[in-house]
Chains A and B, each alone.
Chain A
Amino acid sequence: MEDWERDYAAWVDGRGGALRGTAYLLCGNWHAAEDLTQTALTKLYLSWRTIDRAGSVDAYARQVLLRTFLDERRRPWRREHTAADPPDRPAPGDATGALAERLALEAALRALPRNQRAVLVLRYWCDLDVQATAAALRISDGTVKSATSRGLAALRAVLDREETR
């Protein structure tokens, strides 16, 4: 293994989990998140020797992940979806209430348009401000604000509903 590959492997070991978390929130399920993460990591691997690692590799990787997520619709090939795709099972210790909220949020996230979902994940998971989110998604500040407003309204409705149960 060459030095750069060791660097890459160390980065994946340390930061791959966070990237996977972002992928999960973007996709709304872990299976698609795994696919997305692996595709993004492959692209990162291929460009590892040419990217400016003096800058933020995390930001670069996040951008790759985001572009991959948003570009998926435009790919010349299709993903295959097995007809038998059982839902995720609850994790150990996942209390019923928390599980219900998580499942409801997953469903709400999946129901959002892709760009709107990406805006929420960047704003509230990756902690980017409006300008940085707009730059990452290549959209205007105004679009970020309106997408945030609409997306939050949808998620709040879910959270409110779960809270009052």
Chain B
Amino acid sequence: MIDDRDVRDAFARMVAAGPPPPTSAAALNAGRRARRRRTLLTTGTAAGGVAAVLMAGAAFGGLIGGGGGTPASTSAATPAPSPTAAPAPVVPGVSPAEARAIAARCLALVKDKWWTPAARARLQLFNVGATPWGTRYIFYGPTEYLDCLHATEGDYRPDFSTGTSTGWLAGPLTVDRAIADGAPYDRGPGTFTVEGRVVPSVIKVEITYGRSRLTVPVLNGTFMAAMKITAQEVLHGTPSFRALDASGRVVHASTPDDPAHRKPPGCWVTPDGTVVPDGRQPWPGQTCLPAVRWR
């Protein structure tokens, strides 16, 4: 018969065994381990109202869709995006062959049935940028999203979501991935990294997190940014976003106290009635706006 002492000993053995040694599996998750806080949100909601978006398609698939989220009425539908609706994305300094090689290195560590050769072939590089953790490469496919961090030579770390259409946006600006992490565990500065997509009229995005503000250009309908934040902001800060067009007009503002802010609808739907994930579930009878076409 097992007694209390056995449970204590078992706990001690579990802790003493420690984490797994550095392996490909560990490398895959290393980026996540360093993270302090991960935020998935859409800016269609108020700044404080955080909602899961694209990455949530994999993590919280039960939240939206699956037939349960179809609203009772919708506005006029927009045409479905076609794979040939927009030119292939071009990222200066990275050839398509190099992009394919980078995606392959990232996905080499991934054991997920989704990533068939066909799914991998659908990925296209849309953006690239330097962050304190390394260079981030952002790929999209019709139903795939891959964030590939090239940390050091030979060290590639993927984060991805699959199964959610990337052809539509929940409003003029959708955040696909946002993470606040950093100090003081690793005794470095905190960092807020964010990636997302915008409508074609938007040429730059202004991001505010706590007292930090950064304006980044749009590339291939996407934006990405990494900004230093304080430890206080890592825990308590909230990001806000403003999308600007070529004339400087604010197309979208996420915070309610911004004069350009427009109260978002409860939901966005594609012509076939699919709710575009933004973390909220429309209630029966709610009127949704047509989802905004991306590329």
Contact = CB atoms under 8 A, between A and B. Distances in A.
Q: A and B: real partners? A: yes
Interface of A: 8-9, 12, 21, 24-25, 30-31, 34-35, 37-39, 41-43, 45-46, 76-92, 94, 98-99, 101-102, 105-106, 120-121, 124-125, 152, 155-156, 159-160, 163
Contacts of A80: 38, 40, 55-56, 59, 159, 177, 179
Nearest to A101: B10
Contacts of A86: 25, 28-29, 111
A34 to B, nearest CB: 4
B14 A91 contact: no
A96 B257 CA distance: 59
Contacts of A43: 235
A37 B161 CA distance: 26
Nearest to A162: B10
Contacts of A89: 20-21, 23, 25-26
Interface in B125-169: 158-162
Contacts of B1: 160
Contact of A159 (B2, B12, B159, B232): B2
A82 B10 contact: no
A78 B162 contact: no
B174 to A, nearest CB: 15
Contacts of A21: 15
B17 to A, nearest CB: 5
B160 A91 contact: no
Interface string B5-22: 011101111110111110
A53 to B, nearest CB: 17
B226 to A, nearest CB: 17
Interface of B: 1-2, 4, 6-8, 10-15, 17-21, 23, 25-26, 28-29, 32-41, 48-50, 52, 55-56, 58-60, 109-112, 114, 158-162, 177, 179, 183-185, 187, 231-232, 234-235
A42 B13 contact: no
The prevalent SS among residues of A at the interface is: helix
B14 A25 contact: yes
B274 to A, nearest CB: 20
Nearest to A40: B185
A90 B21 CA distance: 8
B31 to A, nearest CB: 9
Contacts of B231: 42, 45-46
A35 B232 contact: no
B180 to A, nearest CB: 9
Contacts of A77: 37-41, 50
A87 B23 CA distance: 11
5 contacts: A42-B184, A77-B50, A88-B25, A91-B17, A98-B17
